[in-house]
Amino acid sequence: MADSLSHHLLSLSSPHSSQMAPISGATAATSRLLPTAASRARLSLSHSSSSSSARVLRSLSSSSSYSHVSSLNCARSSPLFPRVFLNRVSAISTVAAASDPAQLQSAREDIKQLLKSTFCHPIMVRLGWHDAGTYNKNIEEWPIRGGANGSLRFEIELKHAANAGLVNALNLLKPIKDKYSGVTYADLFQLASATAIEEAGGPKIPMKYGRVDVSGPEQCPEEGRLPDAGPPKPSDHLREVFYRMGLNDQEIVALSGAHTLGRSRPDRSGWGKPETKYTKNGPGAPGGQSWTVEWLKFDNSYFKDIKERKDEDLLVLPTDAILFEDPSYKVYAEKYAADQEAFFRDYAEAHAKLSNLGAKFDPPEGITLDGVTGEKFVAAKYSTGKRELSDAMKQKIRAEYEALGGSPDKPLQSNYFLNIMIVIAVLALLTSLLGN
């Protein structure tokens, strides 16, 4: 996998600064292009799960436990199978995860260092979003449904107009990917994005990991699934694109708040000024036009600035402006301009949801990095009271089910019938006692 990245980076990147590298082959994008009906045609794919299975086999073939794991399913269905062994197999099956938890932790530390030295927070957020944002909820099959599956590492997708410049983000992540073979691209992109938000002063994102990678460029989504910055009807367009991902108006507005970070560059997207007083000296590669004055700080200034529109040096795309014009979007945009805490809470939830779109997790419940303590903190700080069960809690519940030979996805049928039998027996006993 690392090889495929090296190959594409060699062919796409400039030999100079990774931040400034022009993209040979990829046109400076006109992100105004709308997809044609033909380009929306589904790809016909055949290798849907080969990479995951191969990785699982590879990681297990070095351990004598492989045969145990392969017999897990039939073992679970046997009532005579000792629970202690099932528990051991559950622990072993963690080895088969798409990403390795210890390597994810270390990779996160390396990403923090990278952010400190290169100020690449914004492009990492855009990378994670563009990998996940191709998701189509109307397609069930992985990976043609798109989403956070690492497909953006392939040249064919990097060359989509909307992805202009993202090869620079891949260049920056390459040494980390090379160092941690036990972290998938799909996870690395989302890890880099969430870490960038947190390191820029944003909320803690309730992330989980374990995303499986697509294995080849033929599994990339067709061009045209990401939003266009200047469509004829921006509010309808945003709904069409984000509803297709299963996201709602509130999430559209909250996620747009990520533009509190970063800049637009005319040589990439075709939008923004070549430079402004806020960008001419960097930090990082100079140039472009930012949405906010402090474009490396994650706060709610995006909403304040696009509401006021007083500063010609600050960018407002048609899809940004509409957030204060469309009556439904406006409710949230006004709220976030007035209340940073509300923005942080909703952003954190929406970002985590975006990062999971279309992803196939191994193990299915995902891997959390911060443990129960971190999760509790997140819930206490950002919970609305209606929050879903935390991932750590879901993991615990799953473990309980599995210890009993069942799974949260499938009811415990044997226990269910056993309970009915007990109830019938008790009723029969009571009836006979009362009869006497």
Provide the binding-site residues for ligand HEM, judged by CB under 6 A: 31, 122-123, 125-126, 129, 165, 227, 229, 238, 255-256, 258-259, 261-265, 268-269, 271, 317, 319
Active-site residue, from 8, 121, 130, 237: 130
DSSP secondary structure letter of residue 290: E
**Whole-number minimum distance, CB 210 to ligand HEM, in Å?**
21
CA distance 306 to 318: 11
CA distance 365 to 354: 16
**Whole-number minimum distance, CB 250 to ligand HEM, in Å?**
13
> Closest residue to ligand HEM, Cβ-based?
262
Of 21 and 69, the one with the shorter C-beta distance to ligand HEM is: 21
- Of 215, 164, 200, the closest CA to residue 51 belongs to 215
- Of 431, 394, 349, 403, the closest CA to residue 76 belongs to 403
Residue 191 burial (CB count, 10 A): 28
**Whole-number minimum distance, CB 235 to ligand HEM, in Å?**
11
**Both tokens of residue 88?**
């051991």
DSSP secondary structure letter of residue 296: T
Strands 289-290 vs 263-264: parallel, antiparallel or unpaired: antiparallel
Give strand ranges (E) for 44-193.
Answer: none
CA distance 36 to 31: 14
Q: Residue 81 — φ and ψ, nearest 5°?
A: -70, 125
Of 170 and 317, the one with the shorter C-beta distance to ligand HEM is: 317
Sequential DSSP letters for 145-181: T-SSSSGGGSHHHHTSGGGTTTHHHHHHHHHHHHH-T
**Whole-number minimum distance, CB 302 to ligand HEM, in Å?**
10
**7 catalytic per annotation:** no
Q: List Cβ neighbours of 429 (8 Å cut-off, separation of 6 or more).
A: none
- Of 3, 8, 356, 2, the closest CA to residue 168 belongs to 8
Give strand ranges (E) for 56-206.
Answer: none
CA distance 332 to 254: 8
**Whole-number minimum distance, CB 29 to ligand HEM, in Å?**
8
Q: List Cβ neighbours of 419 (8 Å cut-off, separation of 6 or more).
A: none
Please report where in the chains the tokens 């996620």 appear, as a residue: 255
**Whole-number minimum distance, CB 342 to ligand HEM, in Å?**
17
CA distance 410 to 301: 46
- Of 249, 290, 243, 126, the closest CA to residue 193 belongs to 126
Our CA dihedral for 205, 176, 149, 65, rounded to 10 degrees, sits at -100
**Whole-number minimum distance, CB 88 to ligand HEM, in Å?**
41
**Whole-number minimum distance, CB 193 to ligand HEM, in Å?**
8
Of 351 and 360, the one with the shorter C-beta distance to ligand HEM is: 351
CA distance 123 to 129: 10
Of 51 and 136, the one with the shorter C-beta distance to ligand HEM is: 136
Of 49 and 250, the one with the shorter C-beta distance to ligand HEM is: 250
Residues recognised as catalytic: 130
